[in-house]
Structure 1
Amino acid sequence: MLSSDSPLPRPGRLAGILERSPRTTDTLVAASALVIAYLVETAPYHQIDVRLFIFAFVACAALPFRRSRPVATLCVVLVATCALVVVDRYPTWICLGIAVYSLAVFRSARSAAAVAAISIAVVVAAEIASARDSDIAMTLTAATVTATVTIALLLGIIRGSRIRYVAAVVDRSAQREQLAVIGERNRIAREMHDVVAHGLSVMVRLSDGADAVADADPERSREAVRQIGATGRACLADMRRLLGVLDDGVEASRAPQPTLGELEPLLETYRATGMPVTLRERGIRPTDPAVQLVVYRAVQESLTNALRYAVGARHVLVSLRFDDEEIEVDVTDDGNSDVPTTTVGTGHGLLGLRERAALYGGRVDAGPLEGSGWRTRMTIPRPEDDRS
């Protein structure tokens, strides 16, 4: 049996042509059945029976509709077959077999089995009602219709089960693709939040600082303004890269995601705002770029929150611990988070950080420290292939 991830077999060239023109294919099948009916019913008698021609034509004319209306097709074919039995002619069973097969393929196997049993009973009843054949002929008719309908039913159930299985696999593949798209958009939304929150928080703090020292220290004010420009350009570049992924008509930037090698420049942007940030690191850094990105974003989000809410902070400590089994990011500050502040935050930063950590089986704890200050702590298991 194929798994949901297995590639589906491609139909052959002839099968592909037939599948692309189902109505034409069914019309050719009906015409072939009509020719067979003529050879079986008319040729042996060396004459054309009008009743026979009409009943055989009706049975064959219903076959082109076997895909869209399989129940109606079977009913028409069954009536025509019974009429042939009543007029004392041995009918062609091919039309009845095709109708039963189609019902099993394009409807459920259970309904097809029930209708097939009814069809056998109706044909046998028509044979008995004609009351002109011997017991041997009636037995032969009953055996023939039973064998024909049973074989057609089994073939239809096999084919129908295969079609429904393939449809289920395709549907599941589409659902997985949809979930992947949603997951990718959520990832982009988290990245966008980190970029915008970090950039705007730093720019707001720098602009406040530049305004405060504009008269007393113009050079320092101009330096802060230059930092605002640099931060804004970096944010715009990151946003173009992220939005390029969403636009199929735009070539997305191939710039890599941030890694721990860019951690020190990140800290410098916060220090430029006057935040007293200290980095303490222990252990060997992970080599997995995805894990490095999670650590980088955790530090970025924690420092952005400290920049917004840690009023009067005199010390902000970023502690990174890279053990063989676990990675920990611990950011603490001694600011007063009870003082109301005006921020550009969305309130979803910690939620996004928790989602990042959860993807790697980790967790995030955040809350006030005793006395004053705030602590954000993220722990994730270290990947097994990155352990020493």
Structure 2
Amino acid sequence: MIAPTGTPGPKSSGIIPDVRRLRQSFDVVVPALVGVLVAFTVVATSAFTAAIAVPAALVALASGAALWWRRRKPVLVMAITLVGGLVVQLVAPLTVFPLAALVAIGSLAAARSPRFSLPALVLLLGVISLNFRTTTAEDTQFVMAVAVVVCAVGEAVRNRRVALAQAAQRAVGEEQARIARELHDVIAHGVSVIVVQAAAADDVFDQRPDRAREALRSIDATGRATLEELRKLLGAVRPEKRPGLDRLAELVEPLRAAGLHVDVRLDPVPLPAGVDLSAYRIVQEALTNTLRHAHAGRAEVVVRNDSGVLELEVRDDGRGGVAGFGRGITGMRERAALLGGTVDAGPLPEGGFRVHARLPLAVTA
């Protein structure tokens, strides 16, 4: 039975749902608060008439509202807040802190490499330097230092994510090498013994059939022992409990930590083990491709039962291109085909990428 995850219900509890709600609230409060605060400051301190101050306040409000998309489109939001900060600084010179741009530079540095964040920081410092005309050099330098610190904190967050991903990749590589060595040792030893015993049986087959039977019994025992060792080794690598859609919450949490906001909607329905595993793997591959190749900030996973067919849909708001997705899509289609299902994948007209799978439920695992 699939347990619904992703959308907190009345019975939701625990640390992870609370953190998620807090982050969602933060994403709403920050743009609204920054936009209103800067717009009010422009109106209150503008050196121009209302005909100029009011449009400038609207620009400031739009800059704050743009922060809603700062995780999904950090480069665009950075550009909007820089323009807004420049307008505010020209119309209301007493507005020392470009608040919207300071928030945006942190998000940009956390999401993109210094190739994007450093030029944006230079432009932001240029906007801040206009304060030299209207306030003290110490205040201006302080605001510049704040911008540099915010950018550095964002870069530190990004470096930590990269380090964690690289450490996980190294751990996987080391584990694969260890397993390969153990498989080599087990198989090489077993096959060597079998070859020697088979040769011995062939040598004495006509003259000493009793010795030949002993050699054959030894081959049988060695083969069984080797198979048992392989079962134990592979059992440790791939436990009997296979992942299924009931573990989607575990799947998406690391992706959320990496900056991809994932919404999951599930219809509770009993699934054959083979369908459950394949559905999980298809969602896993689609989300992994989204994180690696699409530069998306948001993804949605919908799983529903449609008249005996399990439908999976994974959408994202990324670039919508198929570059880098080829092998993953092929693997998903092959996995679905084994169950008599289909997978369609491609960019959406409005932007983003969509993976849609249909898996018949009348399949024995």
Between structure 1 and structure 2, the one with the greater Rg is: 1
How high is the TM-score relative to the length of structure 2?
A: 0.50
Query: Which one has more relative contact order, counting CA pairs under 8 Å at least 6 apart?
Result: 2
User: Could you state the TM-score of these two structures normalised by the residue count of structure 1?
Assistant: 0.47
